[in-house]
Chain A
Amino acid sequence: MSNTPILDELEKGPWPSLVKEIKRTGYEGLLNIYELNYKDKVTHWDHGGMVGVPGYDAGVIGRVTNRKDILADAHTIRFIQPAGWFYNTDKLRKLCDLWDEHASGLMNFHGATGDLQLVGIPTANIEPFFDEAAKEHWDIGGSSGDFRTASNCIGPARCENAMVDTNDIFHTFMSDDEVLNDMHRPRYPYKFKFKISGCPTDCVAGVARADLTVIGTWKDDMKVDSAEVRKYADAGVDVDLIASNCPGNAMDWDGKKLKIDNDNCIRCMYCIQKMSKALRVGDDRGATLMMGGRARGRYGAFLGWTLAPFMKLEPPYTNLKDLIFNMIEWWDEHGRSKERIGETIYRIGAGKFLKETGIKPLPTMVKAPRNNPFWFYWPGEVQ
């Protein structure tokens, strides 16, 4: 008779089973707590308090249970993932060996923010484990009010539409002393999330949940190969439908030649995704920067809004770093506890944010100008 009759139901079925994986680690404490959560229909995990390694104040998530008789402490360690979530097998095997030796052998590929999460280590083993892992160049990620671990799409490594080097931007920022200091020693009102997508398809969902998102885009004309468009049409692709779905109403297809009205194209990527061989992004590439996205929150969820319509992004990305820290300094000054930067701006006003950071107001920031006559004047603006 199994000790976990309820969870055993989740071993069944064609989708890969996390219960099988937990069982495979032989990590009975966690398995039994998980079973108990199912039996009681509530979680028995509890706040874990402060745990970590000396010198780092974030990135280790304390987790204990309220059933110490089954499992006492089983913390999570967040590691900054390699850019683009690429893993060399040797590197991964060595990490598995270390995790087996010091902890549970259970790993989470990946946490919502992007980190590689290692699940289930007792307090006493955290430091010896990290000593070894650091030799393998695995550094701890973010948690609480800090610069969180970033994430990025696959970018130029395997995507023809990547308009900025997402992997390099990720790696540059995640290896930056100031960023790492702010990641490992939390000082912000709340989390600051940074995500990098190479095009507006936004494969890392930055616009939905990042405080600052890089979205690759281009300025010049899209490249059109009408012969290839015809081949797509001959192969059954409904080019008329794609043209009629164009949100900028910028496509004209007469059955032979595809014309793009580049001034009205809004760079949404739809037609390019549909006809990758025929349509390509232009050569004058950079990024649109979006800010303030987040899930739920005091005022409901926010989607990221346009901070800068176009910015050239080239190493060492000083322009981007200056902008990010300019935003953060303002937020650090005005933000309340548990308030993301978008919420601080919502509370205090976008006008004040722009004025105090010196960021120039642009019509690209709004859907439309205000429809009410109530605003303040700055000192000195009136006699």
Chain B
Amino acid sequence: MALAFEDMDFGPPDYKDMLPATLKDNYGKWKYHEHIKPGVFKHVSESGKEVYTVRTGGPKFISSATIREMCDVADKYCESTLRFTSKHSIEWIIPKKEDVDKLIKEVKKMGLPVGGTGNAMHSIVQCTGWVHCHTAATDGPGIAKAVSDELIDYFQRDDLPARLNIAASGCLNMCGAVHCSDIALLGMHRVAPPVDDSIVSTQCEVPSLIAACPTYAIKPKIIKEDDGTTRKSIAIDADKCMYCGICYGLCPGVPLANAENDGVSIWVGGKVSGARGGAAFSRLAIPFIKNNPPRWPEVIDAVKKIVKEWAKDARQDERMGEWIDRIGWTAFFERTGIEFTEKHIDDYIFSVRDMNVGSRMKGSVLKKY
């Protein structure tokens, strides 16, 4: 039974019915907050009312059975409310101070790590990857799990120089918002898609495909049948294709996935927050690491190396990008041992936009040449 037209478009449930009583009572009246220990905040209202928040990591994909268990815990301590963050974390909001440690005990028993606040590694933002997506060149959730396992100590502590935001996306659609993260893991295709004429000519709109290609690599192609009829398809100029996958988003006849050639690139130094220098893009650190599921050890080694150098040398409150700005990219590549290649220089559209304008150069850099 379809809904009657006038019953459609009713929007989401009202958040006022979802808020825990303490937050509803103190809505807009919060005065200050304290970061009590890793994973735990205290917020204090103008009225003097205190509320505690315990943040835990989560698996992002959650079974209904686990949600019900979480609901049981939330009923006990959190005024029957669960809250999620923009990074797939779960926030347990507790009105009674004495319940904080009880809740922590229960959520730890459920296998949920407490942390991801302040100067810690925050939960890894991730896409759907191979769990449920047709464009993924790598498994965002799988890599996120593998990296989180290895770096969980940084999640549970808060003594890094600044916060560490990591994101994982399976392809250039960047559903994990990788382009503004301290460290970004991005799935990459590396070869132009083969064209399946039988699919393109029957299921796809050729002009939109041609128009959508950012590098003008797609051209129309007419196929002449033996009986004299013609069909419309496309040809892809492999020299111009940048493997972005926009065409595959529009048409199933140009599949990009390639077991031998797909993998992961690593990007560093982006941020979103306005604090200090403001938002910044992530920049290329490693162009390609071959997919090595289920644990991607080479990706983990690279991430660990980058985090280690940053944590060792960055000043208080210096995010990854701010640290690199201070020491310079020459020092970044030298200290991490990552090779700088021609692929690191932007020649996509603005071939000289990122070049070093003028001759101002650190003495420490000049000494190397």
Interface residues of A (CB under 8 A from B): 6-7, 9-10, 12-22, 24-25, 30, 34, 37-38, 40-43, 45-47, 53-56, 63, 74, 76, 79-93, 96-97, 99-100, 105-112, 114, 117, 119-120, 127, 130-131, 134, 136-139, 151, 153-154, 156-160, 162, 165, 167, 170-171, 174-177, 180-181, 184, 199-205, 207-209, 215, 238, 241-242, 245-247, 267-270, 273-274, 276-277, 280, 295-301, 303-304, 336-338
Say yes or no: A174 contacts B57, CB within 8 Å: no
Distance in angstroms from A32 CB to nearest chain B CB is 12
Interface status of B51 (Cβ within 8 A of chain A):
yes
Would A55 and B293 be within 8 Å (CB), given that A22-B61, A82-B12, A134-B7 are in contact?
Answer: no
Say yes or no: A85 contacts B294, CB within 8 Å: no
Q: Which residue of the partner chain, among B1, B3, B11, B80, contacts A80 with CB atoms under 8 Å?
A: B11
Distance in angstroms from A94 CB to nearest chain B CB is 11
Distance in angstroms from A368 CB to nearest chain B CB is 14
A273 to B132, CA, bound (A): 38
Say yes or no: B273 contacts A177, CB within 8 Å: no
Give 26 pairs: A residue, B residue, CB < 8 Å, sorted on A. Answer: A10-B146, A14-B152, A15-B113, A15-B149, A16-B57, A38-B130, A42-B259, A42-B262, A43-B135, A53-B2, A88-B80, A92-B67, A106-B61, A107-B63, A107-B64, A109-B60, A109-B84, A110-B84, A151-B86, A158-B51, A170-B15, A181-B9, A208-B270, A215-B274, A245-B276, A299-B214
Q: A89-B75, A268-B274 are in contact. List 17 more A-B contacts (CB 8 A).
A: A9-B294, A10-B142, A21-B62, A24-B65, A34-B131, A74-B132, A82-B18, A89-B74, A137-B10, A165-B28, A184-B8, A204-B86, A215-B274, A247-B278, A295-B174, A295-B179, A297-B214
Q: Which residue of the partner chain, among A89, A108, A204, contacts B128 with CB atoms under 8 Å?
A: A108
Say yes or no: A127 contacts B1, CB within 8 Å: yes
Say yes or no: A157 contacts B19, CB within 8 Å: yes
Q: Which residue of the partner chain, among A40, A83, A86, A100, contacts B259 with CB atoms under 8 Å?
A: A40
Would A45 and B13 be within 8 Å (CB), given that A16-B111, A269-B274 are in contact?
Answer: no
* Chain A positions within 8 Å of B43 at CB level: 158-160
- What 8 pairs between A and B have smallest CB-CB spacing? A200-B274, A13-B149, A175-B11, A54-B2, A295-B174, A83-B15, A180-B9, A96-B64
A2 to B71, CA, bound (A): 31
Say yes or no: A20 contacts B59, CB within 8 Å: yes
* Residues 131-158 of B contacting A (Cβ, < 8 Å): 131-136, 139, 141-142, 145-146, 148-149, 152
A184 to B11, CA, bound (A): 11
Say yes or no: B59 contacts A21, CB within 8 Å: yes
Say yes or no: A16 contacts B80, CB within 8 Å: no
A338 to B295, CA, bound (A): 35
* Chain A positions within 8 Å of B1 at CB level: 127, 131
Say yes or no: A162 contacts B62, CB within 8 Å: no
Say yes or no: B81 contacts A89, CB within 8 Å: yes
Binary A-proximity of B151-192 (CB < 8 A = 1, otherwise 0) = 010000000000000000000111111111000000000000
Size of interface on B: residues with Cβ below 8 Å to A: 116
Distance in angstroms from A14 CB to nearest chain B CB is 5
Binary A-proximity of B26-66 (CB < 8 A = 1, otherwise 0) = 01101111100000000100000001010001111111111
Q: Which residue of the partner chain, among B11, B75, B128, contacts A139 with CB atoms under 8 Å?
A: B11
Of B10, B12, B250, which is in contact with the most chain A CB atoms at under 10 Å from its CB? B12
Interface status of B246 (Cβ within 8 A of chain A):
yes
Say yes or no: A13 contacts B10, CB within 8 Å: no
Say yes or no: A202 contacts B274, CB within 8 Å: yes
> Looking across the interface, which residue of chain A has its beta carbon closest to that of B127?
A112
Q: Which residue of the partner chain, among B15, B31, B63, B66, contacts A82 with CB atoms under 8 Å?
A: B15
Interface status of B17 (Cβ within 8 A of chain A):
yes
A85 to B60, CA, bound (A): 13
* Residues 252-272 of B contacting A (Cβ, < 8 Å): 252, 257-259, 262, 270, 272
Say yes or no: A45 contacts B133, CB within 8 Å: yes
Q: Which residue of the partner chain, among B66, B130, B257, B350, contacts A34 with CB atoms under 8 Å?
A: B130
A216 to B277, CA, bound (A): 18
Say yes or no: B88 contacts A296, CB within 8 Å: no
Q: Which residue of the partner chain, among A21, A88, A205, A273, contacts B275 with CB atoms under 8 Å?
A: A273
Say yes or no: B86 contacts A119, CB within 8 Å: no
Would A162 and B83 be within 8 Å (CB), given that A21-B63, A134-B3 are in contact?
Answer: no
Say yes or no: A89 contacts B60, CB within 8 Å: no
Say yes or no: A16 contacts B257, CB within 8 Å: no
